[in-house]
Each structure stands twice: as C-alpha cells, then as structure tokens.
C-alpha cells in the first residue's frame, strides 16, 4: 500500500521557505519581490486561479498587483501593458494568466515578457535553457513535481521515468527536468503503448487530462506515481489521470487528486518570483 505524498503540506513548506527568504532579502538588500498577474476578461476559472496566486504572494510577503483589462483589449494594448511591466523595476515577476481571448496570440504575448521576469517559465528563452540544461526559470508544475519526488525520498538518478503527456507546459518540461536529474526518460502520447511503457516505470508522471486513463494494474510494484491530472467530473469533484484506488495498492508513493500536485504549482510560482527578484539565475 502506497504512502501518500501530501502536496498541501509540501506546498505550505515551500511557501514558508520563500517567506523566510523574503525576510532576508528585505533585511539585507531592502528588496521586496513584486509579482504582477495579468488577467484578461472574466474567465471564472482564471479569476479563482489569480486570486489564489495573489493570496499566496501576499502571504509570503511579496508586493502583489493585478492588471485586469477587459476581454475586448487589443493585442497591441496588451503588449503595451507587458512592455510597461517589463520596464517597471518594482515588478520582478510577470504572469499572464491563460487562456487569453481568441483574438490575442498567446505565444506572442508570452514571448514579449522579459525572460528574467517570466515566472511561469513559458518563454521560449527559458524553454530553450531548460532543454540545453542551463539555469533559467522553470515551469511551475513540473518544478513542483521535482520537489514532491524529493520529499518522497525519490532520487530519479538511474531510474526509469515515464511521462504521459507531451504538452509544452507540463509533459515536455517534466521530461527534461527528469532527464537533468539523470533519469532514463520515456515520453508517451496518443500513439504510445501506455500499458507497456508504464509497466516499466520506476517513476510515472501522468499529465494527460483524461480521468483514470492510467490503470492501476499497469503500475510496477514499488513505483512512485505522480498524478498531474485535474479533471472536473459531472458531480463537481476533481479526478486525476491515474486510477488512484488500484494504483495505490501497487505504488510505493502516490499523489492524491486533489491535494497532490495542484497546491505545488502556486508554491513554485512563489519560488520562481523570489528567484527572479534575487537575480538567482
């Protein structure tokens, strides 16, 4: 029977560490990290996410601001906001909440954020640095998964890791971070034989967006299972990408959904903003 990896508790620890580092930055350099979240329009899910980010930023002692233009804002006007924030010395981190309205090219907006203020880690420069194995700001969700593995005492070095999903925000950066940690990494997608690949894995990271796609019986006994999936079911409950009840019978460690990877994303955003403010990369 697997031990649960308590993402809520680990995330609280990460935020407490950031808060302690903020105190030091304030005392030694008179510097208060500043995070601005740009939320365009009235997407209800974005509002909840942004509120969570603002709350966490205030709790750790950052200055926190929100830019909230109307959904009718033009791409040029949004670019002007990003350029202004890029030049504002009090703003160390800029996060443009996705999704953006359809008439705006999200890639163009993300690429306009200064790479050193790109606390989401989505800028092509930061993605490139990750793939080159150079220091840079890392995407928050896979960055959080690496911390969860550490907390579970799982050193990826020499282990077989299978990442299911190859998105630019989770799957691909996850695979690169595991590779950088010396795992032997396989990345799966729609054309993969998931059962066969997962059965070989010492570490499974599921980032698919399909409830319970990863069957418990596929899990190698003793594997560490990290479920990034957050699927809202008809009853309003959240379900992961892994068949949790059966997987936990075989895994050594497993993250629950909710309460696993989810809370880590915001905590690592705080960590990234601190890194951006302190020039630590």
79 vs 238, which CB is nearer to ligand NAP? 238
Residue 13 CB contacts under 8 Å (≥ 6 apart), including other chains: none
Q: Does the active-site annotation cover 53? A: yes
97 is catalytic: yes
* DSSP run (H or E) holding 160: strand 160-164
- Residue 68, judged by CB atoms within 10 A of its CB (0-12, 13-18, 19+), counts as middle
Q: At closest approach, how far in Å is the CB of 273 from ligand NAP?
A: 16
The helix/strand/coil state of 77 is helix
Tell me which of 21, 97, 129, 202 is the catalytic residue: 97
Cα 141 to Cα 153: distance, rounded to the nearest angstrom: 19
- What are the φ/ψ torsions at residue 62 (nearest 5 degrees)? -80, 160
Residue facing ligand NAP at closest CB distance: 167
Between 81 and 93, CB nearer to ligand NAP: 93
CB of 132 vs ligand NAP, minimal distance in Å: 22
Smallest separation (angstroms) from ligand NAP to the CB of 1: 24
Nearest to 204 by CA among 192, 193, 180, 188: 188
Cα–Cα dist 110/120, whole Å: 9
Distance CA 244, CA 249 (A): 9
Tokens of 86: 């890029």
User: Exposed/middle/buried for 130, CB within 10 Å: 0-12, 13-18, 19+?
Assistant: buried
Residues that bind ligand NAP (CB under 6 A): 141, 164-167, 169-171, 188-190, 194, 207-210, 213, 228-231, 261-262, 265
**Which is the catalytic residue, given 118, 120, 202, 241?**
120
Residue closer to ligand NAP, measured from CB, 111 or 231: 231
Packing angle of the helix pair 171-180, 124-132 (nearest 10 deg): 30
Q: Is 150 a catalytic residue?
A: no
Over its C-alpha atoms, the chain yields an Rg (Å, rounded) of: 19
Catalytic residue among 21, 53, 129, 159: 53
Residue number, 11 or 276, with CB nearest to ligand NAP: 11
Q: For residue 223, what are its two tokens?
A: 């594997």
Query: Which residues are catalytic, by number?
Result: 53, 97, 120
């Amino acid at each position: 029977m697997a031990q649960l990896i308590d993402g809520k508790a680990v995330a609280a620890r990460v935020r407490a560490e950031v808060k302690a580092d903020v105190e030091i930055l304030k005392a030694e350099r008179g510097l208060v990290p500043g995070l601005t979240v740009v939320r365009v329009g009235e997407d209800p899910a974005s509002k909840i996410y942004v509120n969570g980010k603002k709350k966490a930023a205030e709790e750790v002692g950052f200055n926190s601001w929100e830019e909230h233009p109307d959904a009718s804002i033009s791409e040029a006007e949004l670019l002007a906001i990003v350029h202004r924030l890029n030049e504002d010395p009090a703003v160390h981190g800029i996060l443009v909440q996705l999704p953006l309205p359809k008439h705006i090219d999200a890639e163009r907006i993300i690429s306009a954020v200064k790479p050193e203020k790109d606390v989401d880690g989505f800028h092509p420069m930061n993605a490139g640095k990750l793939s080159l194995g150079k220091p840079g700001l890392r995407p928050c969700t896979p960055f959080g998964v690496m911390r969860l593995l550490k907390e579970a005492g799982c050193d990826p070095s020499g282990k077989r890791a299978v990442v299911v999903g190859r998105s630019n925000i989770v799957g691909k950066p996850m695979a690169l971070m595991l590779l950088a940690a010396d795992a032997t990494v396989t990345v799966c997608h729609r054309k993969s034989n998931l059962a066969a690949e997962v059965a070989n894995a010492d570490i499974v990271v599921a980032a698919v967006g399909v409830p319970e796609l990863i069957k418990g019986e596929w899990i190698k006994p003793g594997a560490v299972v990290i479920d990034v999936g957050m699927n809202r079911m008809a009853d309003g409950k959240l379900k992961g990408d892994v068949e949790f009840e059966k997987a936990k019978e075989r895994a050594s460690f497993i993250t629950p959904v909710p309460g696993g990877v989810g809370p880590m994303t915001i905590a690592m955003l705080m960590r990234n903003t601190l890194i951006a403010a302190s020039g630590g990369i």
